[in-house]
A and B are shown apart, each in its own frame.
Chain A
């Protein structure tokens, strides 16, 4: 990367009205190199004495302890620094009537010295790469502005993404620019050079060689990268005695072991939901998480598509202990405790004549019959999916049942494992710990991962690498940790190697179906970071080799072709090696249901504790990502914290309550009781959250929080569930009710939507397939649209929108609330993170929010005051709400300065630099989709975050209203390009960020005037309705009613 023109592109756009911004911009004339230099010399943040302190503000104490992510600099934390003085001066100047004359000083243009080939200044470039994630790799197209990756999109040609993305992929670009990343090699916390590390690695290797590598251990997570695997193998041949251990905290061994149990060998299962008419998920969130879930979600949603009343839909049954995205989408959802799910599986197997037997709860019985019948009626077109956290037995049973139903080869197929080295991770880690205790381990190389934080607590991994006071020695002589952050584990290791982000390195990974995908860097490492492979190579025989060469060599070897360069270019262009997906493998069952040992069950009145990866921070690796921390979790709508999720009934029993705070209230701050959970002779203190739809007697402890050394954003958020997670109860622990004790304290949780009742209003139209067939227009019958004559300006000509008429249709039948659109929007539109405190005040900035409603819920919220039966297993629906772009926009009429007005294409424009911040528009917006910069939420200081900004979108400053613009920057660019060719803008040429990210194709944008456009066709459907249409605001964004396809048998009962 080199200097280049238009430094504003780096600084991001800013609100002229903010002198602070101007000041920043002036200093900001920097280029990548400069920024990098700055970063590498960076020595942490300086703090300032705050004005509250001086002014003796009563809230001062509170303010001191306020949590603010670095991405959203605390408004309170550095109060009277230079910026604020500038602002104050500017203000006083203005009062003196002078600031009008204050002209901004010179700006400079910094062109390249030698401009890179093929780069056109001001035009973004897109590169294909993949993000490795567990046993999958998500294919991506990354947008780059003058060498800065700014936006992640899905790669349409990649099997695992098909052009869509998930929250993790979207947010991963923020990880790249995370100011808290480890920035260099350290030894005992002291900064070291890379070469020094390589030397000592070589020294260690030399010792090791003598002992044939005895005592040399490597610990990794799941590895799907053929290159990395090959390299590890070569090390293992170099050091025959060395061992490779694996530990992936949030992925169960059940999947692997289940296959082994069923087929005698590790096999990978690939589903084809598109081909299934009836799907039964046994505690599996296959639409929301796990390998291939993006693709599965899309395939599934294609079977939920309705063009008219005659169309058919698939049917989804979900049996699960705690509500998931998949469960919320289900036509029938049966809450069962995790242990009962296994019983259910056994009972189902028995019903389908596979032998065995199990006693299941009585109310599940009629379910069983109905499902069994439904499955049998759809042999070969049905699909059973077992949850990652379910034990091997359940997986084995599911394999067996799928086989008997003849689904193998139609709705699913088996392949050789995607993991380079499938193994039982728990055992692998147990072995490592045992060996360390036995003093067999000399050198431990930890590649990625954070075992000190996330290993089962009975292993007490910290003690395995920490200096042992008693014995006065270290259990392991050399410990090397390679990771992106200087985290809990890094702290205890001798060496820490700062790991490069996947956008900074060459590499490869296999997708869920085995497709070999290429990781291609978009930017040279921002800091002195290195890839895991490089770190590993330091111990090998040729340390110097670059990732690039290694990758090319391996590909050359694996794909002998006449013209390798051609192949290489194509591979880079596609982001994958064509045709490298695994072929279906034959799998024959080697097990009988009868042979299964009796399932281990939880006593009826015991509480079942479940450990689940968090939908936002996963296993904790995203803890320092502000976007994900502030992202409302799909079902609970909690941000910035995890909470112990408890069913209303159980909560009732334990007398656990919430109450709504006065500041923020339903839309922000909820006080919930704090509980002590004593589990497997350990204890954790958590906030309790009553979660409708959760199985009774189940407490879910989401993993990934309570980090002690995550970084500015992620440290000390929520509670650490790993603290009570033991090797013998990795996913399900059980204990008597007495394990839970109320501490009597309350803890404020930031919940963006506490109120889940529609109050009898038709906000989210829903119906069943029969209803739809009987009355296709059901969605439009509640509200009558006012006739056009009812107008003060009757007879006045309406504004014609002759050319383009931008509009959006959101199919509620497809949306599963996965949140991808929310993060995509945040990334595309430079939306700031505001921090927990501000979310609790109801000031989060997301331009598109996903409302979650419980249909038929009698009570409005789930605090004990209003709580009833309807919350035990409420039908759940999601509704994405961006700006509705009303034609009769109520917001526009009340703006005193015309800062929001209509464009000739019917867009509800928001002109930030005209806005003076009266907030009248927001008051008058019936949908409350407008967002206001109550404080200076944007971070104008942190240089990394400037690199992140999308130069196509103005960066808003304090006191300015903002909202969804239908990604007007994309519209304008597409319009300009088509205008140059004098060609009409074709349908699909403009894709909004939310639409592009959506795995289920629920959001469609286009020109409503073009009868052939997808959006026009959708709007022509009878399911199409306007939100609050009776207000005559005439929204351009409309919704298609959600239709569920329940099984009549279960409905009748």
Chain B
């Protein structure tokens, strides 16, 4: 194409990058997508990948088992650094878990056609990420069996949770988010489950999909209520998804620890969440479309748009970093000023610079049309951003705690074998779930693709 960059959203680009490949009918999309689940033989690659992921997940169970036997002392945490990897990973996973609902909900409300082919597995990814995140608050006390104290149940002590604590807010935010995402995802699945039911050959399959689809028959009356429910869910999920990471950010901004106690956190945590979320979607979408030949459904248009979203949110995050500096020096609070200095000159400075590189500098490449349309670059970029966002959480959680108010109490933190085992273990769990998902459920919403076919065909008329 011409060397000159076309403007961001011109008809030219639309033509160059349609949201769905040409020449598809209702039948063909149905066949192509359902085939992945029903007829396509399971490849050796799938088994290998699954096995690796699953063994990593095994490591997670070992790590958690050992934690339960020994207590959190097996981790690198100490006084003053009471929170380490567990919380870093928790925030990181939860952040990743934002893309799915965001894509499905917000883009749905904004009536973005290009969302259709990615929302399904984006939502799935959300659920799995939230599952991984959910593990950490549970185990990070080393005594998960005490967690029920955090729920408002009528206890024999006549006591209730302490509702002023952000950790209690977390409990409600995360569980609500998990539930709503799950429902949103399942409601979206119902028509496709019906499709699978009707196309399945083996009886057990028919029965399983039959049960899951709850007897969906595509009645116009059902579609009528279904659509309004789906719309409402989207409307509810949107403020929810924004609230969840705000609440997570309260864990820090409510505290008085310098580097935590700042009002910029909620917005920039949310932006960061979307940032990492889209990065993760890319990380999964790119291999997925390659392996299952879905290039026509997940087109360059999709990748391009997601890259743009990353670029935008990345800039918001960058603004957040800048504001931290500005506010600390503007307020002149000596503790904050010192903390910010620490990030630049303290023992952990390398992590901070790495963070700036991954989250701010490198992503600027995405301004270039060429880069946005280079799948390899996008893939690497998505990984880089994931790393960057993890570093951000590390910088916030750990560095702030190493040097707070009383110099005599300053300390340092470094993760142990078990910290890593748990972290990598959750990654294993995440990938395992993804593998299972693409194997047994349609990774792309068939029903919505049919709509898309209908609409695009109208466009052509």
Whether the pair A914, B159 counts as a contact (CB closer than 8 A) is yes
| A888-917 with Cβ < 8 A to chain B | 890, 893-898, 901, 914, 916-917
Whether B224 sits at the interface, judged by CB under 8 Å, is no
Contacts of B401 in A (CB 8 A): 923
| A920-970 with Cβ < 8 A to chain B | 920, 922-924, 926-928, 930-936, 958-959
Whether the pair B412, A923 counts as a contact (CB closer than 8 A) is no
Alpha-carbon distance A51/B62, docked complex (angstroms): 12
Give the residue name and chain of the B residue nearest to A850 (CB): B408
Whether the pair A924, B256 counts as a contact (CB closer than 8 A) is yes
Q: How many A-B residue pairs have CB under 8 A?
A: 219
Whether A7 sits at the interface, judged by CB under 8 Å, is no
Contacts of A79 in B (CB 8 A): 69-70
Interface 9-residue window, one of B12-20, B72-80, B234-242: B72-80
Whether the pair B71, A666 counts as a contact (CB closer than 8 A) is no
Given A79-B70, A924-B257, the answer on whether A665 and B406 have CB atoms closer than 8 Å is no
Q: Render B125-158 as a binary contact track against A, CB cut-off 8 A, 1 for contact.
A: 0000000000000001111111101100000010
Whether the pair A931, B406 counts as a contact (CB closer than 8 A) is no
Residue in contact with A662 in the complex, picked from B83, B142, B255, B414, CB distance below 8 Å: B414
Q: Which of A763, A901, A931 has the most CB of B within 10 A?
A: A763
Whether A660 sits at the interface, judged by CB under 8 Å, is yes
Q: Render A657-688 as a binary contact track against B, CB cut-off 8 A, 1 for contact.
A: 00011111111100000000000000000000
Alpha-carbon distance A922/B79, docked complex (angstroms): 7
Give the residue name and chain of the B residue nearest to A757 (CB): B407
Whether B416 sits at the interface, judged by CB under 8 Å, is yes
Whether the pair B405, A926 counts as a contact (CB closer than 8 A) is yes
Shortest beta-carbon distance from B83 to chain A in Å: 6
Residue in contact with A917 in the complex, picked from B69, B143, B411, CB distance below 8 Å: B143
Alpha-carbon distance A753/B411, docked complex (angstroms): 9
Give the residue name and chain of the A residue nearest to B143 (CB): A959
Whether the pair B414, A75 counts as a contact (CB closer than 8 A) is no
Whether A431 sits at the interface, judged by CB under 8 Å, is no
Whether the pair B71, A934 counts as a contact (CB closer than 8 A) is yes
Alpha-carbon distance A329/B413, docked complex (angstroms): 34
Whether A918 sits at the interface, judged by CB under 8 Å, is yes
Whether B367 sits at the interface, judged by CB under 8 Å, is no
Interface 9-residue window, one of A87-95, A182-190, A589-597, A719-727: A87-95
Interface 9-residue window, one of B33-41, B161-169, B198-206, B448-456: B161-169
Interface 9-residue window, one of A55-63, A552-560, A1007-1015: A55-63
Contacts of A125 in B (CB 8 A): none
Whether the pair A893, B405 counts as a contact (CB closer than 8 A) is no
Shortest beta-carbon distance from A16 to chain B in Å: 11
Whether A851 sits at the interface, judged by CB under 8 Å, is yes
Alpha-carbon distance A90/B338, docked complex (angstroms): 46
Whether A80 sits at the interface, judged by CB under 8 Å, is yes
Interface size class of chain B, counting residues whose CB lies under 8 Å from the partner chain = 35 or more
Given A58-B417, A842-B78, the answer on whether A755 and B410 have CB atoms closer than 8 Å is yes
Whether B116 sits at the interface, judged by CB under 8 Å, is no
Given A665-B402, A881-B406, the answer on whether A916 and B69 have CB atoms closer than 8 Å is no
Whether A853 sits at the interface, judged by CB under 8 Å, is yes
Residue in contact with A51 in the complex, picked from B66, B143, B150, CB distance below 8 Å: B66
Whether A379 sits at the interface, judged by CB under 8 Å, is no
Contacts of B171 in A (CB 8 A): 896
Contacts of A914 in B (CB 8 A): 149, 157, 159
Shortest beta-carbon distance from A95 to chain B in Å: 7
Contacts of A94 in B (CB 8 A): 144-145
Whether A758 sits at the interface, judged by CB under 8 Å, is yes
Alpha-carbon distance A933/B141, docked complex (angstroms): 11
Alpha-carbon distance A445/B97, docked complex (angstroms): 77
Whether the pair A918, B406 counts as a contact (CB closer than 8 A) is no
Shortest beta-carbon distance from B398 to chain A in Å: 11
Whether A99 sits at the interface, judged by CB under 8 Å, is yes
Whether B354 sits at the interface, judged by CB under 8 Å, is no
Whether the pair A894, B402 counts as a contact (CB closer than 8 A) is no
Whether the pair A917, B70 counts as a contact (CB closer than 8 A) is no
Give the residue name and chain of the A residue nearest to B145 (CB): A94
Whether B68 sits at the interface, judged by CB under 8 Å, is yes
Whether the pair A55, B66 counts as a contact (CB closer than 8 A) is yes
Whether the pair A17, B406 counts as a contact (CB closer than 8 A) is no
Whether B356 sits at the interface, judged by CB under 8 Å, is no
Contacts of A17 in B (CB 8 A): 143, 146
Whether the pair A666, B410 counts as a contact (CB closer than 8 A) is yes
Whether the pair B254, A665 counts as a contact (CB closer than 8 A) is no
Given A17-B146, A932-B79, the answer on whether A916 and B71 have CB atoms closer than 8 Å is no
Whether the pair A761, B407 counts as a contact (CB closer than 8 A) is yes
Contacts of A881 in B (CB 8 A): 406, 408
- What is the interface of chain A mostly: helix, strand, loop, or mixed? loop
Shortest beta-carbon distance from B267 to chain A in Å: 20
Shortest beta-carbon distance from A892 to chain B in Å: 8
Whether B409 sits at the interface, judged by CB under 8 Å, is yes
Contacts of A36 in B (CB 8 A): none
Contacts of B413 in A (CB 8 A): 662-663, 665
Contacts of B157 in A (CB 8 A): 914
Whether the pair B408, A853 counts as a contact (CB closer than 8 A) is yes
Give the residue name and chain of the B residue nearest to A1031 (CB): B256
Shortest beta-carbon distance from B175 to chain A in Å: 14
Given A55-B62, A842-B411, A959-B143, the answer on whether A895 and B165 have CB atoms closer than 8 Å is yes
| B321-355 with Cβ < 8 A to chain A | 334-335, 338, 347
Q: Render B294-316 as a binary contact track against A, CB cut-off 8 A, 1 for contact.
A: 00000000000000000000000
Shortest beta-carbon distance from A620 to chain B in Å: 29
Whether the pair A758, B145 counts as a contact (CB closer than 8 A) is no
Shortest beta-carbon distance from A1005 to chain B in Å: 22
Contacts of B167 in A (CB 8 A): 894, 896, 918, 920
| B236-266 with Cβ < 8 A to chain A | 251, 254-257
Given A761-B334, A927-B406, A928-B406, the answer on whether A660 and B412 have CB atoms closer than 8 Å is yes
Whether A841 sits at the interface, judged by CB under 8 Å, is yes
Q: Which of B159, B256, B402 has the most CB of A within 10 A?
A: B256
Whether the pair A917, B73 counts as a contact (CB closer than 8 A) is no
Give the residue name and chain of the B residue nearest to A928 (CB): B409
Whether A352 sits at the interface, judged by CB under 8 Å, is no
Give the residue name and chain of the B residue nearest to A936 (CB): B71
Residue in contact with A926 in the complex, picked from B68, B406, B408, B412, CB distance below 8 Å: B406
Given A75-B70, A917-B142, the answer on whether A923 and B82 have CB atoms closer than 8 Å is yes
Shortest beta-carbon distance from A491 to chain B in Å: 36
Whether B404 sits at the interface, judged by CB under 8 Å, is yes
Residue in contact with B79 in the complex, picked from A88, A931, A959, CB distance below 8 Å: A931
Whether the pair A959, B71 counts as a contact (CB closer than 8 A) is yes
Shortest beta-carbon distance from A88 to chain B in Å: 6
Shortest beta-carbon distance from B421 to chain A in Å: 10
Contacts of A860 in B (CB 8 A): 407
Alpha-carbon distance A662/B84, docked complex (angstroms): 14
Whether the pair B166, A894 counts as a contact (CB closer than 8 A) is yes
Give the residue name and chain of the A residue nearest to B412 (CB): A665
Alpha-carbon distance A660/B83, docked complex (angstroms): 21
Contacts of B74 in A (CB 8 A): 935
Give the residue name and chain of the B residue nearest to A668 (CB): B411
Give the residue name and chain of the B residue nearest to A92 (CB): B68
Contacts of A838 in B (CB 8 A): 73
Give the residue name and chain of the B residue nearest to A930 (CB): B79
Please, could you name 7 A-B residue pairs with CB atoms under 8 Å apart, sorted by A?
A: A51-B69, A668-B78, A758-B407, A760-B334, A896-B161, A896-B162, A922-B80
Residues of A in contact with B (beta carbons under 8 Å apart): 17, 51, 55, 57-59, 75, 79-80, 84, 87-88, 90-91, 94-95, 99, 660-668, 753, 755-761, 763, 838, 841-843, 849, 851-853, 860, 879, 881, 890, 893-898, 901, 914, 916-920, 922-924, 926-928, 930-936, 958-959, 1027-1028, 1031
Top 7 A-B pairs ranked by shortest CB distance? A665-B412, A94-B145, A919-B82, A935-B73, A934-B73, A667-B411, A842-B78
Besides A918-B167, A923-B255, A923-B257, 11 other CB < 8 A contacts? A55-B66, A665-B347, A667-B79, A881-B406, A896-B149, A896-B161, A897-B161, A898-B160, A916-B149, A920-B255, A931-B79
